[in-house]
């Protein structure tokens, strides 16, 4: 009986360490295995958990660029996103057009967002996704002051526009490339539906599906207050 218990305990320990090892699998250089980053803007919303579930099913990661007022309504979702191994990024407090604000106003705006992120995750966001993809001097000044990076995208799924799963899938799969940052919104059911078809295809093609920060960590250098669209394959750090 004691022996059986010990065996069971050992088996459980082994399973535990295997699960841990899987969780900690480090991304590899995109020259060895191609990689893309997924990003979801405008949440958190009632669809965010469904997106997280699909990501987990295929062992994929993504960055969620959240709107402050939505984080304020669903603070526990900020924590859930972070604790599931995904990244929390900022998308301003009220989906503000950053070309209409000065640096001081943007700093205050982003700090309101960071307060929630810090409270829920114990850390702050590194990346800003400017609403409408619009950046001006104010945004660069604010990101310089806060040490944040700016990320837009190279592939727009146009999900909010078409709200049609087949069209979203066609848009994304037709443009897939190594180093891409793909734009989605976790605010529509069509996006969730499309993701169920898109993710297995991307994984099948051999791509790693990463957060923006994971993908961009392969650059030779990252400068705050700089606008990145994707991972530039000509600017990677040397292979180890
Ligand atoms: Zn947006």
- Each of the 240 residues of the chain gets a pLDDT tens digit; together they read 556 655 555 555 555 555 554 455 799 999 999 999 999 999 999 999 999 999 999 999 999 999 999 999 999 999 999 999 999 999 999 999 999 999 999 999 999 999 999 999 999 999 999 999 999 999 999 999 999 999 999 999 999 999 999 999 999 999 999 999 999 999 999 999 999 999 999 999 999 999 999 999 999 999 999 999 999 999 999 987
CA of 158 to the centre of ligand 1 (A): 12
Task: Name the strand (E) or helix (H) holding 89.
Answer: strand 87-90
Number of domains in the chain: 1
Output the domain CATH number for residue 154: 3.20.20.370
Q: Does 22 map to a domain?
A: no
Q: Write out the catalytic residue numbers.
A: 41, 185
CA of 238 to the centre of ligand 1 (A): 34
CA of 24 to the centre of ligand 1 (A): 31
Q: Does 8 map to a domain?
A: no
CA of 88 to the centre of ligand 1 (A): 14
Which range of residues forms the domain containing residue 195?
29-234
**Residue partners of 66: CB distance under 8 A and separation at least 6:** 43, 44, 78, 81, 88, 89, 90, 91, 113
Q: Does 23 map to a domain?
A: no
Q: Does 218 map to a domain?
A: yes
CA of 131 to the centre of ligand 1 (A): 5
């Amino acid at each position: 009986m004691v022996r059986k218990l010990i065996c069971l305990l050992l088996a459980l320990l082994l399973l535990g360490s295997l699960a841990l090892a899987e969780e900690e699998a480090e991304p590899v250089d995109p020259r060895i295995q191609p990689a893309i980053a997924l990003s979801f803007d405008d949440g958190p919303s009632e669809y965010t958990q469904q997106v997280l579930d699909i990501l987990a099913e295929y062992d994929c990661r993504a960055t969620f660029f959240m709107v402050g007022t939505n984080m304020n309504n669903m603070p526990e979702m900020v924590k859930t996103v972070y604790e599931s191994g995904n990244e929390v990024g900022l998308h301003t407090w009220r989906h503000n057009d950053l070309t209409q604000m000065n640096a001081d106003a943007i700093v205050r705006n982003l700090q309101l967002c960071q307060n929630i992120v810090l409270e829920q995750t114990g850390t702050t966001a590194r990346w800003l996704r400017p609403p409408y993809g619009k950046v001006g001097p104010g945004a660069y000044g604010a990101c310089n002051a806060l040490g944040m990076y700016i990320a837009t995208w190279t592939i727009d799924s146009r999900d909010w526009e078409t709200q049609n799963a087949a069209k979203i899938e066609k848009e994304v799969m037709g443009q897939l490339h190594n180093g891409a940052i793909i734009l989605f919104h976790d605010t529509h059911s069509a996006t969730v539906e499309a993701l169920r078809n898109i993710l297995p295809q991307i994984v099948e093609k051999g791509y790693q599906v990463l957060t923006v920060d994971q993908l961009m960590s392969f650059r030779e250098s990252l400068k705050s207050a700089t606008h990145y669209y994707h991972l530039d394959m000509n600017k990677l750090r040397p292979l180890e």
